[in-house]
Structure 1
């Protein structure tokens, strides 16, 4: 599973860099300014990184087990009708 995590991270990193590169080229063509293109590329990287951090935090918060009233509200209050179906 560690290798899969590295693959996902590298795919996200490549996607961020490609997106930033496309924004830099597009902005450079539209404005004829390398500095404006660089600024927009950096801004794109910052926005994408903030979005990535928010995604990771939300995924981590969804993994925390519920306790107290939240757990009892989401649990099925009705017991199973026939157990596991094994008769002795």
Structure 2
């Protein structure tokens, strides 16, 4: 997945989290908080995926 696709998917996922939290709690602040948490988790996952890809590429070139 390239970066523009990731941004679209991350935005959609955070919107779904915010909407579902708002509908469940009725609080815009809880919805915003959960959306931020979802964005952070997704960004960390993307970063770890990139690190893994780089690590695999380095292992292949050193063999």
TM-score (norm 1): 0.66
Candidates 17, 36, 45, aligned match of 1:42: 36
Give the ranges of 4+ consecutive aligned residues of structure 1 lying more than 2 Å apart after TM superposition: none
For residues 26-85 of structure 1, the C-alpha deviation after alignment (integer angstroms, 9 at most, x for no partner) is 00000000000000000000000000000000000001123xxxx4xxxxxxxxxxxxxx
- 1:22 maps to 16
Structure exhibiting the larger radius of gyration computed from Cα positions: 1
Q: Which runs of 5+ in 1 are unaligned?
A: 72-88
Structure with the bigger percentage of helix: 2
RCO (CA 8 Å, sep 6+): is it higher in 1 or 2?
2
CA drift at 1:9: 1.2
RMSD of aligned Cα (Å): 1.3
Q: How many residues align?
A: 61
